[in-house]
Chain A
Amino acid sequence: GENVEQHPSTLSVQEGDSAVIKCTYSDSASNYFPWYKQELGKRPQLIIDIRSNVGEKKDQRIAVTLNKTAKHFSLHITETQPEDSAVYFCAASGTNDYKLSFGAGTTVTVRA
């Protein structure tokens, strides 16, 4: 099955700086890569996703890049703000694969 590894496990950044979280996956058939943000005690919420026919996708301060050859994808948050503090999960799945395989999560803390 798919195995997703996520790094770093914790990340502390100064407000206004950028944050980058990286994930690698094992199954070359995977073609869907979502990112979820989870605030304390709340449900994971989809913040951005990318499909394998695209190399990069942006949504305001958030961007995701995908390198299918190297089997890794990254989340980039620019101009970080205190409300970006949360746990972020990456995930991967294939077209014919119901299961979403999650990374272990990254706790992001934005220092004011």
Chain B
Amino acid sequence: EAQVTQNPRYLITVTGKKLTVTCSQNMNHEYMSWYRQDPGLGLRQIYYSMNVEVTDKGDVPEGYKVSRKEKRNFPLILESPSPNQTSLYFCASRDRLGDQPQHFGDGTRLSIL
């Protein structure tokens, strides 16, 4: 089954404690991205990757890092989380062809205390 898998689904942690949210896709997609979703603000892109070792900032990259060492994985790293990063996060992937759908993971709800 084609899917994007995120882990963990829920996480409560404290300010400053480094955390990583993993994302994996099994569709051999070149393009992967991370979004955060806050009430009333829609989907805001954090970072994206067009292929292995190719990453770039989205609209709200501050406080986040990513890596793309393998095609299937695109982890999101919060080196020093702060309360304003409390949000619902989605990983997504898409084929390199621009007229194909984007697939979302089930989301990760992060609470930073």
Please list the residues of chain A having a beta carbon within 8 angstroms of any beta carbon in chain B: 31-32, 34, 41-46, 49, 51, 89, 91, 93-100, 102-105
Number of residue pairs across A and B with beta carbons under 8 Å? 56
Residues of B within 8 A of A102 (CB): 42-43
Interface size on B, residues (CB 8 A): 25
**In the bound complex, what is the Cα–Cα distance between A103 and B113 (angstroms)?**
30
Q: Is the CB–CB distance between B99 and A98 below 8 Å?
A: no
Q: Taking CB as reference atom, which chain A residue is nearest B95?
A: A98
**In the bound complex, what is the Cα–Cα distance between A97 and B33 (angstroms)?**
14
Q: Is the CB–CB distance between B101 and A89 below 8 Å?
A: no
Q: Is the CB–CB distance between A98 and B98 below 8 Å?
A: yes
Q: Taking CB as reference atom, which chain A residue is nearest B91?
A: A43
**B:36-69 near A, CB below 8 Å:** 41-43, 45, 48, 50
**In the bound complex, what is the Cα–Cα distance between A36 and B50 (angstroms)?**
22
Known: A32-B98, A99-B33. 5 other contacts (CB 8 A): A41-B88, A43-B106, A98-B30, A98-B48, A105-B42
Tell whether B105 is near chain A: CB-to-CB under 8 Å: yes
Residues of B within 8 A of A100 (CB): 94, 102
Instruction: Tell which of A32, A44, A46 touches B90, judged by Cβ atoms closer than 8 Å.
Output: A44
**In the bound complex, what is the Cα–Cα distance between A41 and B108 (angstroms)?**
10
